[in-house]
A = this chain, B = another copy of it.
Amino acid sequence: MATSRKSTRVDTKRSRTQEEPDCTPPRRRNAAETRQAILDSARAAFTRAGYDGVGVREIATGAGVTAMLVNRYFGSKESLFAEVVDVTLSRPGILTREITTMGHDVAALARHISAALVDATSPTGTPLDGFLIMLRSASSPQAAAILRDKFEAHFEHRLVPALPGDAARERASLMLALIAGLQLMRQVIAMPSLTGADPCTLEKQVEALFRLLIIPNV
């Protein structure tokens, strides 16, 4: 049994080395790089399967290290998750990218957001990591608490101030709800009505909804 375990470990190490055989020197024992590798592996894993659906051993294997090292760097699975959510939300996303680069043409803004959203949630598009992590981790109470804090903090400071008019917080929250609901139905549950819908029709409907939430006075 010890033999098989040992061979597994050797394979793992070898695979990491062989992934980039001559591009970079083996560069082992680099704390910063290893930490980043764990973070990347964790983000991919949480996006794919959610907080409860992935184990630290799996994350560690994806980074080419051992499970215990994950806990040595991040303290616990929960802390790791919090950091993953934080860095994911810090990167420019669909809303912040569109809104911060907008002029004051709300119609164009609604069109851009809608197009980006429909494209991102299509089978071939690049999914929105932040929301996907949330949708797949919401069932865990601990993960939900982390998500609540991080989402509130990030969007309170970046989305709400960008929305003119009254009830900006409510409208911003409803935009998040709309994005989350659409992505849930289209990507996570994958309802045929939405995955098979004509993108153009869908885009028009979604655009109308967003226009309603962006324009100040309904």
Bound CA span A22–B47, Å: 52
Q: How far is the CA of A156 from the CA of B196 in the complex (A)?
A: 14
Is the CB of A190 closer than 8 A to any CB of chain B? yes
Q: How many copies does the complex hold?
A: 2
Residues of B within 8 A of A208 (CB): 212, 218
By the criterion CB–CB under 8 Å, are B53 and A167 in contact? no
Q: Are B156 and A193 in contact (CB under 8 A)?
A: yes
For A, the interface residue count at a CB cutoff of 8 angstroms equals: 54
Q: Which of B151, B202, B218 contacts A170 (CB 8 A)?
A: B202
Given contacts A151-B189, A204-B218, A218-B205, contact A197 B181 (CB under 8 A): no
Q: Which residues of B contact A156 (CB under 8 A)?
A: 193
* B residues near A194, Cβ cutoff 8 Å: 170, 173, 177
Query: Which residue in chain B gives the minimum CB-CB distance to A174?
Result: B205
Q: Are B173 and A177 in contact (CB under 8 A)?
A: no
Flag whether A152 is at the interface (Cβ < 8 A): yes
A191-B178 Cα distance, complex, nearest whole Å? 14
Q: Which residues of A contact B (CB under 8 A)?
A: 49-53, 134-140, 144, 147-148, 151-152, 156, 167, 169-174, 176-182, 184-186, 188-194, 197-198, 201-202, 204-206, 208-209, 212-213, 218
